[in-house]
Structure 1
Amino acid sequence: MTANLLDFDLEGLALFCERLGEKRFRATQLFRWIHQKGAASFGEMTDLAKSLREKLATTAHIKGLDVISRQISADGTIKWLFDVGDGNAVEAVFIPEEDRGTLCVSSQAGCAVGCRFCSTGHQGFSRNLTTGEIIAQLWFAEHFLRHHLGRQDRIITNVVMMGMGEPLQNYNELIPALRIMLDDHGYGLSRRRVTVSTSGVVPMMDRLAQDCPVALAVSLHAPNDALRDNLVPLNRKYPIAELMAACNRYLLHAPRDFITFEYCMLDGVNDQPEHAQQLIALVRQYATGGVWCKFNLIPFNPFPQSGLVRSPQSQVLAFAKILSDAGIVTTVRKTRGDDIDAACGQLAGDVKDRTRVGERITQQRTVMLTPVMSRDRKPEGM
C-alpha cells in the first residue's frame, strides 16, 4: 500500500525520503508543493528529478477527502461535509471576517464526550481521524478558497480545532497535523493563531504543553462540579480543581498569556447571577497574578434531543456584565452560519441519521477530491 503524504509532518516526510534513498532536503520541496501550492500529482513537481517522481509514483500518493456537499451561508460562512469512508462524514467550517479567515476543523468522526448541549455528541463516536484526514480539511479549504476568491495569497489565517470530536482524545494524530499547520514550509500559521479546544482531558493538556503548545480553549460551561458533571460528563473523571490546575500549568508554555474558557449559555441552567459569582470566585481562587483567562459566552444552538433552551440575549449580556465588572475579560460570541447549521455545537448535520449516511454519500458525492493544483489548473468537479 502506498503512503498518503498528507499524513506526514516535515520530519516524517524527511524520513520517508531517506527510506527512498533520497536526501532530506527533498522533503522540503515536496512539502511546499503539497501544502503551499496544493499539488496532488507528482508530475506537477517540475523541480524534482524525474527519477524521484518515478519513485514517488510507485510508493506514495496525495489523497484528500471527497466532498459530499458544500453550503454557503448568507453571512459568507462556508460548511463542507467530507466523506471519511465506511458511512462516516465530518464537517469543516470557514468563517470569513474583515481581519482574518478562520477554519474550524474536525478531529474525529463523531464524539465520545457526550456534552448535553452539543449535537455532535448525540450522534455517537465512530473513529479517530488520521493526520492526513485532519490536514486534508485545511489543504482542501485553503486552495479551494484561493480559486473561489481569485486570490493567490493565504486565505486561512487561523485554525481552530473546534469541529467534530475531542482533539485531545486523538492526540497521536493531532500533533503531526498541528506541526504541519505551524511549519513555515507548510501553512506558516503562528502558535497564537492555532487553537485547540478541549473539554478537559487533563493528562493530554500537559502533554500538549510540552509537545506542541498552541492557544488553548477549555469548554467549561459550569462553575461547579455538580452542574458540570451533568453538562460535561468528562468532568466526573477530571473535575474542575484538576482542570484549573492543568490550565495554570499550560500557561507556563502557552503562546498566549491566557486560557479561553468557553461557556455555553443555557436558559435557567447555568446563566443565573449566582453562577456568574461562582465563576468569579473560581477564577480568583486559581489566579496566579494578572489576567490569566478570558470568557467567551456562547449562545446555545438548540437541537431537539438536548431538552435545553438558549438564554435570552438580555440574560447573556447581564451575565457578561457581572464578569466584566469583576475584571474578567468577557466576550459574547457572535453566531455565524446559523442558516446552514454551522454554528458552535451544531456540527452533526447530514451525519445524524447514521443508518442512511452511506446511501447519501453514494448518491451525493461530488468529486472535488483536490484543491487547485497550480496557478493555471482548476480543481476537477468545479
Structure 2
Amino acid sequence: MTTAVLEFPGGRLTLNRPGTDDPSLRAWSSADELLLQEAFEHLAIAPDSRVLVVDDQYGALTLGLSPFSPDVVADSAQLGSALALNAALNPACAAPERVFSWLQPPVGTYDLILLKIPRETDYLDWLLRWSNGALKQAGVILAAGMIKHLPDRSVDVFARTVNVEKVSRAVKKARLITCSQGEASLDNWPGIWKGYDLEAPGARVNAMPAVFAREKLDIGTRLMLPHLKPAIESCRPCARVLDLACGNGVLGLSVLAIRADIEMTFSDVSSQAVLSARSNVETAYPDAKASFLHADGISGEQALFDRILLNPPFHEGGVVGDHIALRLFEQAAQNLSDTGRLIMVGNRHLGYHKSLRRYFSQVRQLDANPKFVVFEAWRG
C-alpha cells in the first residue's frame, strides 16, 4: 500500500491506498480535493448542515469532513476497511459508526450531499435521481470527478436530473458541479433494471446500474459457462458453491439450473450487484438454498467451499492490473475444501496461468480464445 499526506482546508490527512505499492497512486484524487474545498466553504456558512458523502473511495472525504459527522453511503464494500485503516492513521478524525450501502441506504434528508461522479452513465443517472429524494428543498449537491473518467453524456444526465447551478473550471484535470434539487426521481424510471435473456437456464438476468455487463453476457463469462456442468455434476450432494465477484449472478444461476441441491453463495464488493443477484435468484429459483454477501472478497468466516467460480475484475478506480485477482486467488485457496476446485476465467494478457501457481499446486487450462482463458485450479 502507498501512504501520502493530503492537505485541505480542514487540515491534513495521512492516507493509505490499499492494494498497491506504486507511489504514484494516491488514496485521493483532485476531485476529492475540489469537493473538500467547496464543502468547507459551504459549511463555514452553514456549520449545522446535515451532510452525506456518497461513494467515497478510501476515506478522504469522510475523514476530512469528520468534524461535521457526515453520514456515508457507498456501493463498494471496500470503503469500510479503507476507513478503518486510514482512521487509525488520523486519530483526530473519527470514522462513522456505520457505512451504509444500497442494501440499506440512509434515511432522511440532507442539506449537503457530496458525490463522486462514477464512470457509468446509468449509475450517475441513478445517483442523481436518488439524491434528489435525499436532498432538502434548499439543499446542495456537490459532484466531482476526473475529467477523463466522466461518463458518456454526463452533461445530458445532469441537465435532465438536477438543476445545475455552477460548473467549475478544470483544476488539476478535475471538475466540480454544484447542483440544486431537480424533479427527476427513481419512481417509474426504466433505467433501474436492464438485462438479457440467458439461454440456459432460460432465465431473465437483470441488474442495477452499478453492475458490470448488465445489458449483455460478457464474452469471458460466455467462454466459462460450458465448463460449469462437469465441474458441478462431480460435486458431492448438497455441495457448497461460491459465485465470487458475482455481478448479476449469472454463474450461480447456471449452477442452480444444473443441480437444485447445491448450497449457493453469491458475493460481490458492489451492493447493487448483490441486490441484482438476489432479485434474479428469487425470481428464477425461489426455493434455492442461496445466501448473499456484500463483501470485499471472502471473509474467512464461512465454511469451506467445494467449488469457487470467479470472473475477477481487472480494474479499480482507473487502475488496470491483476492486484484484485491475486488477492481473490489467495482467499480462494484458503477457503476451498480438500477436494475443492476454483473455476475461473481471465484476460489472456494478464498471465493468470503463472499467478495461479502461487496459490495452487495444480492448474489446468480448460478453454481459451484470443482474449480470455478458462482455468481450473486446486491445491493437490
Same fold, TM exceeding 0.5? no
Structure with the higher helix share, 1 or 2:
1
Structure with the higher strand share, 1 or 2:
2
